[in-house]
Structure 1
């Protein structure tokens, strides 16, 4: 029975609506765990960050009621704080094992090309990459790791880390929250909205990969 429940959880992990409907009172803790893991570990790019935040905004009133009736902006601040902590974890991971990661063999959960692509992205945009990367699933997980690996000044890292976390959480969660207030029927079409978010956030990454691939072919 436990194995079946675990499989159901893993199978539905990428369905944000299921998380909030199934877990109810404890959904906020699942949300925080996923946000931390997505920004703190290199396997985090597999997790549904943007769509989860948007859905959290739509279910914002339920989250507030189930968490001591705090105002919605407090929920967003808590999520932003966890996103900041996740990036610190990613920075620490890169700082301690960055060189080893470049030597690590590819696996299902780790692709060296993602790390290299994130490094090139960071080299191009410098510290502001920590803000931009918040809205790009793969870069969101690898940017803090790269920052730690190349020994970015921690104070500078924290400034952009905090700014990026606040902009990311407030913009996406507020969009879901206030759109739901004006268009309550959104809940009935959530799957299509999430699909649109996934396409919008992953297209730049796919486009970049295709350009790099074409360049290699030409060379």
Structure 2
């Protein structure tokens, strides 16, 4: 978790302009953890396959099949779920006002400690008895994943609502066209604008629209 948090910290320190809130923290931490999990899964599956080559096990009873089921089918979201807690801590730190140095240091640290705690619970679940892993998975991990997914969606919608509420003033001043506040305040409208520009004016135009939206 510290290694994954270090990647988020680097973005927070050196691309601060692009790290402005909770959604950014969720996305950056999620991508970092997904890359970590992808690499780790290759190592686990490679080790399992090597074990099966030595023992001669094949098919559904093989170590490779069991490893694939647990790591790829049941828990592909595990690493992103843990590290997103760190990202949320950084996101709230990004929202803190200037001069709140202690708050900006403690929030990411608190997120990292939560990520470590959840990761430890996940790793230790197999020691809770024969069905410990499944109990932790159903009672804790799945609800946590659902809650964090809801938080990310709600936060993004809140940001879009702010865009829709604030930009009409600029449209009234003549800086924006009347329809732009709505278009910029909707993810669907943003996507349609990029597709329209790309279809009628080519990929460079679609990239310019994406830059404008950002």
TM-score band, normalised by shorter chain: 0.3 to 0.5
- Please give the TM-score of this superposition, normalised by the length of structure 2: 0.34
TM-score, normalised to structure 1, is: 0.33
Higher relative contact order (CA 8 A, sep 6+): 1
Of structures 1 and 2, the larger Rg is shown by 2
